[in-house]
Amino acid sequence: MRTTTTSLAGVLSAAALFLAACGGGEGAEASGGSGSGSEGGEGRALRLALNQTEQHPSYLALDSFGQRLSEATDDRWSIEVFANETLGAQAEALQLVSSGAVDMAIVSGTQLENLDEDFVVFNLPTVFDSVEQQMSVVNDPDVVGDLYSSLESSENITVVGGFTQGTRSVYTTDGPVETPEDLAGKKMRVQESDLHLSMMEAMGGSPTPLAFGEVYTALQSGVIDGAENNEVSYFTQKHHEVAPFYSRTNHLVGLDYLIINTGVLSEMSEEDRAAFDEEWTAAHEEHTQLWTEATEQAIADAEAAGATFSEVDTDAFNAVLEPLVDEFLTTDSQRALYDAARGN
Ligand code: GCU
């Protein structure tokens, strides 16, 4: 099942930004395919689209991933991370990786759900109880091997692995939330996903899908009354300035994926591919370590800036979220993935 969420105009404007940012795309010749070293000193810099700031753990871990990859392959391969949606919002970045205009991107699981319904499983509120459980599942080839190659023939996209988004909660412009009733009538931004639209409805709010980069202005102008995200994005995107009430619904542990154009990946020699995989493992491990620290820091910084963090009626939220599992797991392969993730 494929739903196109991106307009051609959006892709073209992102591509224009990309060309402006990269000087017309020159210097993109691959020299890694032969595995024979960097003839003429020309290595291949992989352009990676990210929608976070340069302070975010994902930027930091990807930046050091690139540096280590460069060292490990004698500069045949390196990574240039374009932060802050410079290459477009995630829906555009996904299309650009598919077409090969951009090599890699970090996209939320919600984006991949729009290409293959099996990805819905890891976007469900109840699938992961902790970051540790999530990371062990989403980087285990026995569980995710088929899933991660499932977009190769249709989209030319390979999923490399996952970064945690940590635990997501709601935040609002005008007072804390304690129960689902408190979200009644509130326009709440959600990611562009059918599951998350239903999730927000179940939680009591009126879901409003928007790209990540549009959330600050939408909160500020009153187009929306709230959103949901982890503490790190809440602070690094400055959402606390315009929505200072963060209420700990902890409704899901979110997941980002590193995706790469399949053709580009196949240009790597065996040796370089092994280095890529090894350094990726180090990158997601570093990311998970940075995550805990960044979360504590984000909470302290947001509180110092006047935001409040409050507890909710967790049982009441769990009760409305539970039915989403049966509603959204409709196939045997989805069930099998869900059971594997839950250790059933
Ligand atoms: C998190 C996540 C992003 C995602 C964003 C969102 O910050 O890491 O990948 O785009 O949430 O809510 O859109």
Q: Which pLDDT value is given to residue 17?
A: 53
Q: Which of 108, 159, 188, 192 to mutate to test ligand 1, by most ligand atoms within 8 A of the CB atom? A: 108
> Residue 4: its pLDDT value, please?
40
User: Is the Cβ atom of 231 under 6 angstroms away from ligand 1?
Assistant: no
CB 92 within 8 A of CB 99: no
Pocket lining: 172 vs ligand 1, CB cutoff 6 Å: no
Taking the centre of ligand 1 as the mean of its atom positions, its distance from the CA of residue 90, in whole angstroms, is 9
- The confidence score (pLDDT) of residue 13 equals 54
**Ligand 1 lined by 229 (C-beta under 6 Å):** yes
pLDDT in tens, 256-283: 999 999 999 999 999 999 999 999 999 9
Q: What is the pLDDT of residues 86-122, one digit of tens each?
A: 999 999 999 999 999 999 999 999 999 999 999 999 9
CB 180 within 8 A of CB 320: yes
- Please report the atom of ligand 1 found closest to the CA of residue 111: 10
**Pocket of ligand 1 contains residue 236 by CB under 6 Å:** no
The three-state secondary structure class of 76 is coil
Q: List, in order, residues 6 or more apart from 63 with CB less than 8 Å away.
A: 79, 81
Confidence at residue 42, expressed as pLDDT on a 0 to 100 scale = 80
- What's the mean per-residue pLDDT of the chain? 91
Q: Is 165 in the pocket of ligand 1 (CB under 6 A)?
A: yes
Judge contact between 131 and 230, C-beta under 8 A: no
- For residues 136 and 161, the answer to whether their CB atoms sit within 8 Å is no
CA dist., res. 79 & res. 77, Å (int)? 7
What average pLDDT score do residues 120-126 get? 97
Q: What is the DSSP string of 19-49?
A: HHHHTTTTT----STT-S--GGG--EEEEEE
Tens digits of per-residue pLDDT, 188-241? Answer: 999 999 999 999 999 999 999 999 999 999 999 999 999 999 999 999 999 999
Q: How confident is the model at residue 344 (pLDDT cuts 50, 70, 90)?
A: confident
pLDDT tens figures, 161-192: 999 999 999 999 999 999 999 999 999 999 99
| Domains of the chain as residue ranges with CATH | 7-165+255-294 (3.40.190.170), 168-253+297-343 (3.40.190.170)
**pLDDT digits 0-9 by tens, 276-303:** 999 999 999 999 999 999 999 999 999 9
Q: 291 near 232, Cβ under 8 Å?
A: yes
Each residue's pLDDT tens digit, 9-60? 444 455 545 544 544 333 333 333 333 334 445 899 999 999 999 999 999 9
The 10 Å Cβ neighbour count of residue 184 is: 10
Cβ atoms of 311 and 248 within 8 Å: the answer is yes
Q: Is 85 in the pocket of ligand 1 (CB under 6 A)?
A: no
Q: Name the residue of 233, 238, 255, 288 whose CB sits within 8 Å of the most ligand 1 atoms, as the mutation to test its pocket.
A: 233
Supply the residue whose CA is at minimum distance from atom 5 of ligand 1: 212
Question: To the nearest whole percent, how much of the chain has pLDDT over 70?
Answer: 88
CA-closest residue to ligand 1 atom 9: 108
- The predicted pLDDT at position 254 comes to 98
E strand map for the chain: 44-49, 77-82, 104-108, 157-172, 187-190, 206-209, 226-229, 245-261, 308-311
